[in-house]
């Protein structure tokens, strides 16, 4: 018996700054035992494409009917594409221009019916309202990071809800901090705290466990992984809830290299495995993917494998790891077996590939 997954691929485009088409759907079929290295090899069938300039991050709606993308343009644009149940068609249904520029990440808001966008270029975080069908219709909030640091230029690079808390985290590569926000019932964002990192760290992405007891932060400029641990915040008992900061605080416990290879390493994406026993990290410079065990007091690299040039992003599909190698023009297909990584199949051609998302 075979199983097929649909993968959304965003790439820097010929109409923008790269060599790709923009958005493309891939249908990846695995035979029995393929994830474990047995049985039928993986096969790839190419689906529809949507020509768009530089979609730098993609996100499926919860039901998989819509694909959202943020375009790294000036101004930033958020688009929605309606995808047929069988993945045979993809139709652009919304294209909303925002106020910021250089959009690089988007995520669902904590308030229902909102999307949150990180703008690397303008140093802003923007909130978009969705209509009843999940289509982006209106910009409702813009938060500027330009006044949050005396040194450095703000570059928000991700927005991520922290499980087990009411907070959203925004790593800012230019200000060497992770800013913490809370979103109100109307969708407005309010700053409630921060996690400071060493100067020159350049926090890019983070991965939180299921209760956000630990946050693992990829630091692009230093090539290090910072791990922050959580503790409760203390509030005066008579402080109104609206005036309280974050209900939790985090402090950095360890900082370790993301790769065993010496030299410059511009870390990009990182993710926990489903069982939260391992952390996967993409290394640009060494051009590798690292697997780190989380069973010790601090993460420890157990496996590191070469991939295509400039691995910008990756996603997981069961035991498979699909790596977007932007300058290698390919998607590497790896397998994770416990704490070891290996090659599962030949790379999939994908010009200027920037990001990947598995359809739910």
**How far apart, in whole angstroms, are the C-alpha atoms of residue 21 and residue 53?**
8
Least confident of 68-77, 82-91, 155-164, 245-254: 245-254
Q: What percent of the chain has pLDDT over 70?
A: 94
Q: How confident is the model at residue 232 (pLDDT cuts 50, 70, 90)?
A: confident
**pLDDT of residue 243 exceeding 70:** no
Residues 182-198 have a mean pLDDT of 97
Q: Which residue has the higher pLDDT, 35 or 350?
A: 350
Beta strand 114-119 pairing with 124-130? antiparallel
Please report which helix (H) or strand (E) contains residue 5, including its range: strand 3-11
β-sheet with 266-272: strand ranges across: 266-272, 278-284, 288-293, 300-306
**Which letter does DSSP use for residue 12 in this model?**
-
pLDDT tier at 234, thresholds 50, 70, 90:
low
36 pLDDT band, cuts 50/70/90, is very low
Residue 149, pLDDT score: 83
The CA distances from residue 95 to 68, 75, 81, 152, 195, in Å, are: 10, 12, 9, 32, 34
Distance CA 130, CA 110 (A): 13
Q: Is the pLDDT of residue 170 over 80?
A: yes
User: What are the residues facing 25 on neighbouring strands?
Assistant: 8
Backbone CA torsion sign across 347, 349, 351, 355: negative
CB 31 within 8 A of CB 19: no
Task: Report the alpha-carbon distance of residue 142 to residue 103 in Å, rounded.
Answer: 13
Q: Looking at the predicted structure, is the pLDDT value of residue 147 above 60? A: yes
**Length reported for the chain:** 360
For the cut 80, the answer to whether the pLDDT of residue 298 exceeds it is yes
Q: Hey, what are 84's tokens?
A: 């047929």
CB 148 within 8 A of CB 117: no
In the chain, DSSP finds a helix count (H) and a strand count (E) of: 0, 28
User: For residue 58, what are the β-bridge partners?
Assistant: 69
CA distance 81 to 16: 19
The whole-number pLDDT of residue 354 equals 98
Six token digits for residue 117: 């966008």
Find the distance separating the first CA and the last CA of the chain, reported in whole Å.
20
pLDDT for 31 equals 84
279 pLDDT band, cuts 50/70/90, is: very high
The residues with which 256 forms a beta bridge, in sequence order, are 225
DSSP 221-279: TTTEEEEEEEEE----TTS-GGG---SEEEEEEEEEES-SS-S--EEEEEEE-TTSSEE
Cβ-Cβ contacts under 8 Å for 120 (sequence gap 6 or more): 72, 102, 103, 104, 155, 156, 157, 173
What is the mean predicted confidence (pLDDT) over 160-186?
98
How many whole angstroms separate alpha carbon 331 and alpha carbon 77?
25
**pLDDT band at 241; cut points 50, 70, 90:** low
CB neighbour list of residue 206: distance below 8 Å, 6 or more residues apart:
158, 160, 169, 171, 178, 215, 216, 217, 218, 270
Residue 38 has pLDDT above 90, yes or no: no
268: Cβ–Cβ under 8 A, 6 or more apart, which residues? 204, 205, 218, 220, 282, 283, 284, 311, 312, 313
Are 154 and 145 in contact by the 8 Å Cβ rule? The answer is yes
Contact 268, 205 (CB under 8 A): yes
- pTM of the complete model: 0.94
**Sequence-separated (6 or more) residues with CB below 8 Å from residue 185:** 111
């Amino acid at each position: 018996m075979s199983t097929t997954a649909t993968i959304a691929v965003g790439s820097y485009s010929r109409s923008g700054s790269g060599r790709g088409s923009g958005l493309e759907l891939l249908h990846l079929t695995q035979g029995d035992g393929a994830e474990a290295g047995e049985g039928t090899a993986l096969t790839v069938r190419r689906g529809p494409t949507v020509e768009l300039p530089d979609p730098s991050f993609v996100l499926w709606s919860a039901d998989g009917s819509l694909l959202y993308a943020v375009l790294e343009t000036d101004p930033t644009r958020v688009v929605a594409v309606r995808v047929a149940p069988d993945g045979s068609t993809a139709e652009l249904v919304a294209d909303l221009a925002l106020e910021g520029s250089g959009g690089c990440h988007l995520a669902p808001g904590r308030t229902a019916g909102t999307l949150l966008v990180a703008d690397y270029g303008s140093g802003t975080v923007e909130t978009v309202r969705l209509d009843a069908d999940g289509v982006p219709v209106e910009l409702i909030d813009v938060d500027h990071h330009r006044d949050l640091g005396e040194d450095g230029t703000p570059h928000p690079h991700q927005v991520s809800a922290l499980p087990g808390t009411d907070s959203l985290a925004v790593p800012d590569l230019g200000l060497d901090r992770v800013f913490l926000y809370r979103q109100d019932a109307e969708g407005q964002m309010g700053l409630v705290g921060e996690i400071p990192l060493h100067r020159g760290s350049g926090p890019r992405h983070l991965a939180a466990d299921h209760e956000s007891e630990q946050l693992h932060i990829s630091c692009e400029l230093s090539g290090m992984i910072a791990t922050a641990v959580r503790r409760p915040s203390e509030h005066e008992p008579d402080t109104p809830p609206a005036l309280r900061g974050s209900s939790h605080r985090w402090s950095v416990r360890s900082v370790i290299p993301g790769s065993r290879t010496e030299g410059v390493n511009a870390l990009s994406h990182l993710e926990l495995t489903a069982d939260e026993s391992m952390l996967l990290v993409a290394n640009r410079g060494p051009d590798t993917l690292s697997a780190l065990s989380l069973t010790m007091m601090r993460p420890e690299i157990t496996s590191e494998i070469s991939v295509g040039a400039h691995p910008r992003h990756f996603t997981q599909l069961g035991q498979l790891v699909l790596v977007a190698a932007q300058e290698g023009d390919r998607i590497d297909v790896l397998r994770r077996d416990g704490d070891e990584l290996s090659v599962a199949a030949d790379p999939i051609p994908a010009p200027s590939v920037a990001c990947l998302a598995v359809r739910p």
